């Protein structure tokens, strides 16, 4: 009888642990979706790949760099918006966990766009979760 009581206690402990993890994860996801400090803005700028704009080649952008930027973006390099007026770089974040923002922005590489969305700044890095994007005419 002692071993069955021990088994029941272990099962209850495991259930309790997973219940705690589930509730904690749910709260973390809620707080992620309700991030504080976000501002809704529209940014005008060029879509650039961060590998070549920030990396070894630095400052690579524009039509002459489009083919390389597309290759980098399809390979997984993060894309960003280089703001026209300030040259501030805004990392493009996925709309939901596990999403890939590159898919939506590859057609806009090396083009001037208007991107609306929630803008965040953490540790000096700026990012945008886009809600709309269109080419600037």
User: pLDDT (tens digit, 9 = 90+) per residue, 50-59?
Assistant: 888 887 666 6
User: pLDDT (tens digit, 9 = 90+) per residue, 30-47?
Assistant: 444 545 678 999 999 999
Domain that holds residue 25: 1-34
Contacts of residue 89, Cβ cutoff 8 Å, sequence gap at least 6: 48, 50, 53, 54, 80, 81, 82, 83, 126
Q: How far apart, in whole angstroms, are the C-alpha atoms of residue 129 and residue 32?
A: 12
The model's pTM: 0.70
CATH number of the domain bearing residue 95: 2.40.50
> Looking at the predicted structure, is the pLDDT value of residue 16 above 60?
no
10 with 60, same domain?
A: no
**Looking at residue 57, what is its pLDDT?**
64
55 with 71, same domain?
A: yes
**Looking at residue 2, what is its pLDDT?**
53
Tokens of residue 136, six digits: 């600037």
**Looking at residue 133, what is its pLDDT?**
95
122 with 80, same domain?
A: yes
User: pLDDT (tens digit, 9 = 90+) per residue, 76-86?
Assistant: 889 999 999 99
């Amino acid at each position: 009888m002692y071993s069955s009581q021990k088994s029941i206690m272990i099962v209850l402990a495991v259930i309790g642990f997973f219940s705690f993890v589930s509730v904690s994860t749910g709260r973390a996801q809620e707080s992620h979706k309700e991030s504080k400090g976000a501002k809704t803005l529209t940014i005008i700028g060029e879509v650039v790949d961060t590998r070549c704009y920030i990396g070894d080649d630095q400052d690579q952008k524009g039509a002459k760099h489009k083919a390389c930027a597309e290759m980098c973006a399809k390979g997984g390099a993060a894309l960003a918006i280089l703001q026209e007026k300030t040259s501030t770089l805004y990392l493009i974040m996925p709309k939901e966990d596990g999403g890939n923002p590159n898919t939506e922005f590859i057609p806009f590489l090396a083009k001037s766009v208007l991107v609306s969305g929630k803008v965040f700044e953490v540790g000096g890095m700026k990012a945008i979760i886009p809600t709309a994007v269109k080419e600037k005419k």
